[in-house]
C-alpha cells in the first residue's frame, strides 16, 4: 500500500477518532486489528485496539511497511464505535517516547516496567507470536521469555528487531498471563 496514502487515511481516522481495521499479515488475509489510531509516525502506527465486542483490548504498535489494507468508515466500525462509547470503555494510559525507534522504545518500556507483551514475528514467510516478557534489548537484538497460556516458560527466545511485524500490550489475555506469572504455582 502506498505509504503516503496509508498515512493520510490513518491520520484522518486519528483526527476524527473513528475505528479503522488494519491488515498486516499477508499470510492470513482474514486476520486484522480494529481500533482507534493514537499515533502515526513515518514508520509505525499505534492503535488503541477494540475487540469484536466493542471493548478496550489494549494497544498495537505496527510497522507501516507491513500494512497492505485499511478499512475505514464501514457499518461494523460505526457500530463498534457507538458501543465502545455507550459502554463507556476506556483504555489505560500508555505513553512511550517517539524519539528514536518506536519499537525499541516500546520494548524497553515493557522490559523496565515488566509489562507482558505479544510480539508477532515474520520469519521467512512464516509467522509466529511470542507472549511473555522482554529480558534484554541490545541494539537490534531482543531476548524474550516466551510463556505458554499457563505462564510456564518455553525458555528464552532471541530475535532481531527487523523481524517484528507488530507488538501488542494491555489485552485481557496478556493481563491474565501476567496474573498467572506473578502468582505462586498451584499443585
Look at residue 45 and tell me if it is in a domain. yes
Report pLDDT digits (tens) over 86-95. 999 999 888 8
What is the predicted pLDDT for the residue at 54?
A: 96
What is the predicted pLDDT for the residue at 94?
A: 86
Distances (CA, A) of 13 to 26, 36, 104, 107, 164: 23, 7, 25, 26, 24
Based on the fold, state whether residues 120 and 167 are members of the same structural domain: yes
pLDDT less than 50: residues of the chain = none
Nearest to 66 by CA among 115, 33, 104: 33
Question: pTM of the prediction?
Answer: 0.93
What is the predicted pLDDT for the residue at 184?
A: 82
Nearest to 72 by CA among 29, 9, 24: 9
- Please state, in angstroms and rounded to a whole number, the distance separating the CA atoms of residues 61 and 104: 11
Question: In 23-135, which ranges are continuous DSSP H helix?
Answer: 75-86, 102-112
Look at residue 94 and tell me if it is in a domain. no
Last residue of a domain, one of 62, 86, 110: 86
For 185, which DSSP code?
A: P
Based on the fold, state whether residues 111 and 176 are members of the same structural domain: yes
Last residue of a domain, one of 86, 118, 134: 86
Based on the fold, state whether residues 121 and 145 are members of the same structural domain: yes
Amino acid at each position: 500500500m502506498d505509504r503516503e496514502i496509508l498515512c493520510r487515511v490513518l491520520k484522518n481516522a486519528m483526527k476524527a477518532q473513528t475505528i479503522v481495521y488494519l491488515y498486516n499479515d499477508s499470510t492470513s488475509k482474514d486476520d486484522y486489528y480494529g481500533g482507534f489510531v493514537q499515533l502515526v509516525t513515518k514508520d509505525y502506527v499505534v492503535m488503541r485496539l477494540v475487540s469484536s465486542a466493542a471493548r478496550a483490548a489494549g494497544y498495537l504498535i505496527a510497522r507501516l511497511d507491513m500494512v497492505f489494507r485499511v478499512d475505514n468508515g464501514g457499518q461494523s466500525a460505526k457500530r463498534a464505535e457507538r458501543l465502545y462509547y455507550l459502554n463507556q470503555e476506556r483504555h489505560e494510559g500508555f505513553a512511550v517516547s517517539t524519539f528514536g525507534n518506536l519499537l525499541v522504545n516500546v520494548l524497553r518500556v515493557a522490559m523496565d516496567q515488566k509489562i507482558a507483551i505479544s510480539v508477532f514475528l515474520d520469519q521467512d514467510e512464516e509467522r509466529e507470536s511470542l507472549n511473555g516478557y522482554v529480558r534484554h534489548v541490545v541494539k537490534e537484538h531482543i531476548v524474550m521469555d516466551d510463556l505458554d497460556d499457563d505462564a510456564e516458560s518455553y525458555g528464552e527466545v532471541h530475535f532481531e528487531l527487523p523481524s517484528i511485524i507488530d507488538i501488542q500490550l494491555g489485552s485481557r489475555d496478556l493481563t491474565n498471563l501476567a496474573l498467572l506469572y506473578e502468582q505462586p504455582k498451584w499443585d
